[in-house]
Structures are given as C-alpha cells and as structure tokens.
RNA sequence: GUCCCCAUCGUCUAGCCCGGUCCAGGACACCGGCCUUUCACGCCGGCGACAGGGGUUCAAAUCCCCUUGGGGACGCCA
C-alpha cells in the first residue's frame, strides 16, 4: 500500500488555536496510525500578515502538544520559483491566462452581481484575449464553464459542485505572489501529500483545487473535511470567545495529553470511550468515525478530562510539568522522590497544575500563618495537651508510614477520649496551615519526622499564645 | 442573494451505512445519597434528547422528500 502522507499547513497570521490544533491532531494521528508521514508547512504567501513571531508560537505549541513532524517546516515564501514553474505551465497549456482588469472594475462587477441576485464572479473579460505578460497583470485560472466537479469526501461522501458556480479565480497576484489555492495544490503535489484532512470551511475551495490538480495532470488526493469547532454561542471560534490558543491552556496548567484527548473526542469517537492516552489514540484513531456535525467547545468537560488525566498519569510524567508552576511560587523543586510523593497526594484533588502547585506549597515551606477560621475552630486551648502527647508519640514511632502512624494517633485519642477528627483537624492545620489538605498520614509520611514534629511544636506554641491572649 | 455542509439529552457523543435487541446508551455539568480524618477521589441513584411535517414499511432515531434551524464559502486572505 502507498505510504500515507498528511500535512498541517497553518498560516502564521495568528497563534495556534483549538480548532487548528485539532486539525493538526487528526492528520498527525492518521499518519502515525498508518505508519505514514506528517509534514509541517507554513503558508505565508500573505506577506502582509505573516510573521516570524507566529511561526515560532505555532512550532512551540505543536511541540508542547507532542505533535511532531517528519518533514519541514516548509515555507511557501521560499518556494516561489516552484509555483512560478507550475503557473507558467498552466499558461502554456492554455489553462490560465493574464488578466489586466482593474480591482475597481472587478469590484463593480461584484456589486452588480450582488444587486441582481447573482453570485459575485469575474465575468471573463480577458479570458479569450490571450494577453501577453504585462506589469501589474494577474494570472487567472481558466475554469470550465459547464459540467460538475465532484469532491469525493472521505468523511461526507460525494459533494457535487456545478462548475458554473466557479469563476476564473486568480492564481497569481499582480506582484507575482501565488494565491493560496495554487500554492497548496502545487505544494501538495510536489511534497507527495495524498491525504488532506482539513476544516470544512475549505469545502468550497476543494472543487477549484481539484480542477487545478487535473489541469496539472496530477492525481487528486483523498480529502476529508472535518466540522468546525464552535464557541459556546455556536458561532465560529474567535478571539472574543476568550482563551482559545493552545498555549493559553498550557499556562492554565493543562496536561497536553488531556487537551489532545478532549480535542479528538470533539468530533471523533470510539464507542463510549472517553479517556485515551496518546498511545491509545494512535492505536484506535480512524477516519470512519469522524463526525459530520460541528461541535461546541466545552471548557468544563476539558477541565474534567484534565483532572482525570492528572489522576491517572504516573507521577514521573507529571513531575516535569509541575516543576514550572512550582517555580511561580518561588519554589525550586527538584524532580526527586519527595516531589513524586507530593504529587501522589495531590493527584486526586487537583484539576490543573496551577491548582496542584498551589496546594503543594506547604510541603516545601512551613506555614507562616494559619487559616483564620481553622484557628477559631480547631486551635482551642484543650488541644494543646493532645498535641504535646502526639509529639512525644511520634518521637518514638519507628517507621513513618500509615501502618505505624495510626497506632500513635489511637493512643493519644484514647488517652484524651477524643474522636479521630478532633485530633486530625488541628494536626492538619498545624502541618499545612489550612483546613483542607491531603490525608494526615500521607502528609506526615512525606514531611518526615523532624519536619512534622517541628510544625506541631510551632502550632503548640501558637495555641498557647492564643490562649494567653484570650485570658 | 447564490452555492455547499450539518441536525440524538444544556454540551460532547454511541446507535444511523446493514430498519425490529432503543419507551435511545455513555461522558461533562446539575441534583440526591453512600464512603469518610478535611477537601477531593470513588460508588449508587436522579434529571435530561431522536428539530417539525409528510412518506416507504408489519415495524424508523435509523431509508426518502419537504420545512425549519444552525454553520460555511463566494478576496490580488489562508
């Protein structure tokens, strides 16, 4: 079987957003799944709006997502001579022609068409004039006047376009730069791309491109148009929908695999399965189960999926991601057993790395003050004695794991006739400074004997001072 | 305006191609409950949809047509 070659061709006129990432993902998965190749190509023929800054940002986002490419990145702006060759061929074979109609004239044509209810089209003034190249002339494709062009879409089936709907579209600007439809086709032909998965906003470009393939004597690739991603108001995604760039999700503490998982499920399914690892995605992805209807981006579901990924991903894989966010709290954490232990206790209670980092701070630095409502509720004078006893017990506990810790607590509880909660809450506050934290035993185990005792003693002093102040 | 695409719970979706097992299944969110050392996790239960109308058929979410609704394209942007 022929090697499958897919590509992702962003235009560097903006950041990589959710929709673009999904398109890239589909192409990437399909290539990885079939052992094919995946190409990255920047379509920067619009010199006005393309910038290096966006190129870098897109590369950065793709790398973070773990979407890697086998070839490229290519830049259309550096392949002008290639397009020129193909354009010349089209002219030579009578499939394209020079046109000297002014922009104003074209605009007037459109206006008129709009008024009389027709489709805005170029009227073909220069079509049969056989004009020679002149400065400022554009090159137009000579589109068939009759017949149909059929797009055999892998996702939607056959889509028929009457050729009369198409006009003689420009393939080369007056400044010599090629136009999108020409450039993609030439690139895809010369790069051997045989499978194109893209947004369905490109459907109406497809017949034009098919015509170009034929005029160039090239084989038409497989097309598959995926539905668009909509905002909560069901409108096409745009800046006004808020955080839509991939890097925004990185900054908000999302795990790349979770984003991938969410994105792929927005438009593709594998029965009832919701959770996928990257490997599972590659193994199970198929083009047959890509849906046909547009999907609304749902940040809440993405958040929930992120939490699920955080919960079920091995701590070693999570650690490098968390370290950056810990840095934001002034903590220079090392990727060691301590960090891994910390993550373990935070996994079931963190939806993002931002949350996890925040919750992890107390492990690295003893609380400087205690949550106020906790102090009122749990640091009462009567807990001073049990805490003193607990400190003494902990000093004698041989191993610091739950199995040995619990008897120590039970002993203190019995001596003072307390329920577990009565001692656990003050201890929680003493260790973490907060009323909400991971389990008591797991915290103690990670903090270790010295640190635990130090924090308990500090709390005991605090409680005593507190009592004196009141007296 | 013209052309094209789409249509199952609020949202993402399974089912639709190969009608009956679907008084429609899962997930997120929401509401109860259980578990419990806090918060979570987890578990159990609830709420909630085949856009409408015509056909075809013994039988339609599944096939056909129309309507309605939503989206996209119509650039010397990609």
Largest CA distance in chain A: 106
Q: Assess contact for A290 and A267: CB atoms under 8 A.
A: yes
**What integer pLDDT is reported at residue A1 of this predicted model?**
62
**What integer pLDDT is reported at residue A293 of this predicted model?**
92
| DSSP single-letter state for residue A318 | H
Q: Which of the 178-217 residues on chain A come under 7 Å of nucleic strand B at their beta carbon? A: 179-181, 183, 200-205
Which nucleotide across the nucleic acid strands is nearest to A43, CA versus C1'?
A: B78
**What integer pLDDT is reported at residue A242 of this predicted model?**
62
User: Does the CB of A317 sit below 7 A from strand B?
Assistant: no
**What integer pLDDT is reported at residue A238 of this predicted model?**
66
User: Does the CB of A300 sit below 7 A from strand B?
Assistant: yes
A440-447 helix and A353-364 helix, angle to the nearest 10 degrees: 60
**How far does CA A318 lie from the centroid of its chain?**
17
Q: Which of A85, A129, A239, A377 is catalytic?
A: A239
**What integer pLDDT is reported at residue A56 of this predicted model?**
96
Which nucleotide across the nucleic acid strands is nearest to A300, CA versus C1'?
A: B28
Residues in chain A: 471
The pTM for the full model equals 0.93
Q: What is the pLDDT of residues A171-206, one digit of tens each?
A: 999 999 999 999 999 999 999 999 999 999 999 999
- The mean-pLDDT minimum among A26-35, A81-90, A118-127 falls in A118-127
pLDDT-derived band at A397, boundaries 50, 70, 90: confident
What is the spatial distance, in angstroms and rounded to an integer, between the CA atom of A164 and the C1' atom of B1? 16
What is the spatial distance, in angstroms and rounded to an integer, between the CA atom of A412 and the C1' atom of B3? 81
**What integer pLDDT is reported at residue A323 of this predicted model?**
97
Q: Which of the 338-377 residues on chain A come under 7 Å of nucleic strand B at their beta carbon? A: 348-349
**What integer pLDDT is reported at residue A302 of this predicted model?**
96
User: Does the CB of A284 sit below 7 A from strand B?
Assistant: no
Asked if A239 is an active-site residue, the reply is yes
For A85-108, what is the mean pLDDT?
Answer: 92
**Mean pLDDT score of chain A, rounded to an integer?**
92
**What integer pLDDT is reported at residue A233 of this predicted model?**
78
User: Does the CB of A109 sit below 7 A from strand B?
Assistant: no
Q: Is the pLDDT of residue A46 over 90?
A: no
What is the spatial distance, in angstroms and rounded to an integer, between the CA atom of A21 and the C1' atom of B49? 30
Q: How far apart are CA A201 and CA A83, in angstroms?
A: 24
CA distances from A365 to A49, A179, A187, A328, A332 (A): 48, 59, 56, 14, 11
The residue with tokens 């009565």 is: A422
Q: Using a CB cutoff of 8 Å and minimum separation of 24, what contacts does A155-163 make?
A: A155/A224, A155/A225, A155/A226, A155/A287, A155/A290, A155/A292, A156/A225, A156/A292, A159/A203, A159/A206, A161/A204, A161/A207, A163/A207, A163/A211
């Amino acid at each position: 079987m022929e090697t499958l070659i897919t590509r992702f061709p962003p235009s560097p006129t903006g950041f990589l957003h959710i929709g673009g990432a999904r398109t890239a993902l589909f192409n990437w998965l399909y290539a990885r799944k079939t052992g094919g190749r995946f190409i990255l190509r920047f379509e920067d023929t619009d010199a006005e709006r393309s910038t290096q800054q966006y190129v870098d940002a897109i590369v950065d986002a793709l790398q973070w997502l773990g979407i890697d490419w086998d070839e490229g990145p290519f830049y259309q702006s550096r392949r002008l001579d290639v397009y020129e060759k193909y354009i010349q061929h089209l002219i030579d074979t009578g499939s394209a022609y020079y046109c000297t109609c002014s922009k104003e004239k074209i605009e007037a044509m459109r206006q008129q068409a709009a008024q009389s209810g027709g489709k805005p089209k170029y009227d073909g003034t220069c079509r049969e004039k056989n004009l020679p190249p002149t400065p400022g002339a554009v090159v137009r494709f000579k589109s068939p006047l009759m017949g149909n062009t059929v797009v055999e879409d892998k996702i939607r089936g056959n889509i028929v376009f009457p050729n009369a709907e198409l006009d003689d579209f420009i393939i080369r600007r007056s400044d010599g730069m090629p136009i999108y439809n020409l450039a993609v086709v030439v690139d895809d032909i010369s790069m051997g791309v045989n499978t194109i998965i893209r947004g369905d906003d490109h459907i109406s470009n497809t017949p034009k491109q098919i015509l170009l393939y034929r005029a160039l004597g090239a084989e038409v690739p497989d097309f598959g148009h995926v539905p668009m991603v909509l905002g909560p108001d069901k409108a096409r995604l745009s800046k006004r929908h808020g955080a839509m760039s991939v890097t925004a999700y990185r900054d908000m503490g999302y795990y790349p695999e979770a984003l991938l998982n969410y994105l792929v499920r927005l438009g593709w399914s594998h029965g009832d399965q919701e959770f996928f690892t990257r490997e599972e995605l590659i193994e199970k992805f198929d083009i047959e189960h890509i849906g046909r209807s547009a999907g609304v981006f749902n940040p809440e579901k993405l958040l929930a999926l992120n939490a699920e990924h955080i919960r079920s991903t091995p701590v070693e894989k999570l650690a490098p991601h968390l370290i950056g966010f810990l840095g934001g709290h002034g903590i220079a954490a090392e990727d060691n057993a301590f960090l891994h232990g910390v993550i373990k206790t935070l996994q079931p209670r963190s939806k993002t790395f931002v949350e996890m980092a925040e919750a992890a701070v107390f492990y690295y630095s003893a609380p400087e003050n205690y949550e106020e409502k906790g102090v009122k509720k749990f640091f009462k004078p009567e807990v001073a004695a049990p805490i003193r006893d607990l400190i003494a017990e902990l000093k004698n506990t041989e191993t610091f794991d739950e199995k040995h810790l619990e008897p120590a607590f039970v002993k203190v509880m019995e001596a003072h006739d307390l329920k577990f909660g009565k001692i656990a809450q003050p201890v929680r506050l003493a260790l973490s400074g907060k009323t909400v934290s991971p389990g008591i035993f797991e915290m103690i185990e990670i903090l270790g004997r010295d640190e635990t005792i130090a924090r308990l003693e500090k709390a005991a002093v605090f409680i005593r001072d507190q009592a004196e102040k009141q007296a």
